[in-house]
A and B are shown apart, each in its own frame.
Chain A
Amino acid sequence: MVTVRLFGEFRAWQDPPVLELPSEGLATVADVKAQVATALARSQDPERVRELVAASALAGSSRIFLETENLADLQGQVLALLPPVSGG
């Protein structure tokens, strides 16, 4: 399983704000984002989900990942889905 923590606006869509995704078929960071969108679209407006996930980045505890990065290289990391930021 791949664990993805959700932040910001995603928290309003999933309680508790975490997704457990089957790892089968997930090769890259982009695959994880696509699977997250599919999971969230089951309970939310699919178009809104697609738009927000597309604008979001996937990160670990110390850096943001490229969409092309292989999931196998990120073993053991809890992933975080980061929507556009609005601090300050």
Chain B
Amino acid sequence: MSVSVGLQREPLKIEALLAEGGNAGFGAEVVFAGVVRNFNHGKRVLSMSYDALEPLAETVLREISEEAVTRFGPALEVIVRHRVGRLQVGEASVVIVTRAPHRAEAYAASRYVIDELKHRVPIWKQENYEGGQSQWLRGHALCQSPS
């Protein structure tokens, strides 16, 4: 099993992530990138600001990635990087690379990681609009973990 996660302020470089890990047994490599788009809620978006509780966010990202390996196969490789700070339209906010012997597991793991990330990882985004307004987006309330 190979899992690598992290948060960073610097722009995400997909080529660099693709150079991480990998082996000759992987027949499938899926790359998902979440990108800042220019329109939301009827407003023109100029940039997006990401905030995170970093130690806990990395812990939860690792948990999710390890869950993906448990669910979809021990041969999986999962790499996740998420940006924090201010991003311009068109920049990637998150990149997920999943590798597996076959495409079904790689696709399923990629989908699992991004869906769970959106529900569980303590990261928040603020849209900055044309005209100077901004708005924090409300998503999913965090479930309380058992003690």
Q: Report which A residues bind B (CB closer than 8 A).
A: 5, 7-9, 11-12, 55-57, 59-67, 69, 80, 82-88
Known contacts A86-B139, A88-B118, A88-B123; can you find 9 more A-B pairs with CB under 8 A? A7-B53, A7-B124, A57-B141, A59-B142, A62-B55, A63-B56, A66-B147, A87-B94, A87-B117
**A57 CA / B53 CA spacing, docked (Å):** 12
Q: Which residues of B contact A82 (CB under 8 A)?
A: 53, 122, 142
**A83 CA / B147 CA spacing, docked (Å):** 20
Q: Which residues of A contact B117 (CB under 8 A)?
A: 87-88
Known A-B contacts A85-B123, A85-B124, A88-B114; A59 and B139 likewise in contact (beta carbons under 8 Å): no
Q: Report which B residues bind A (CB closer than 8 A).
A: 34, 50-53, 55-57, 59, 82, 93-94, 114, 117-126, 136-147
Q: Is the CB of A9 within 8 A of B123?
A: no
Chain A residue with the shortest CB-CB distance to B144? A66
User: Is chain A's interface secondary structure helix, strand, loop, or mixed overall?
Assistant: loop
**A88 CA / B115 CA spacing, docked (Å):** 9
Q: Is the CB of A63 within 8 A of B118?
A: no
Q: Which residues of A contact B126 (CB under 8 A)?
A: 8
Q: Which residues of A contact B34 (CB under 8 A)?
A: 88
Q: Is the CB of B144 within 8 A of A64?
A: yes
**A49 CA / B146 CA spacing, docked (Å):** 26
Known A-B contacts A7-B53, A62-B59, A63-B56; A86 and B141 likewise in contact (beta carbons under 8 Å): no
Q: Per a CB cutoff under 8 Å, which of A5, A8, A85 touches B121?
A: A85
Q: What distance in Å separates the Cβ of B129 from its nearest Cβ neighbour in chain A?
A: 14
Chain A residue with the shortest CB-CB distance to B135? A9
**A12 CA / B53 CA spacing, docked (Å):** 16
Q: What distance in Å separates the Cβ of B53 from its nearest Cβ neighbour in chain A?
A: 5
Q: What distance in Å separates the Cβ of B18 from its nearest Cβ neighbour in chain A?
A: 20
Known A-B contacts A87-B123, A87-B124, A88-B117; A63 and B145 likewise in contact (beta carbons under 8 Å): yes
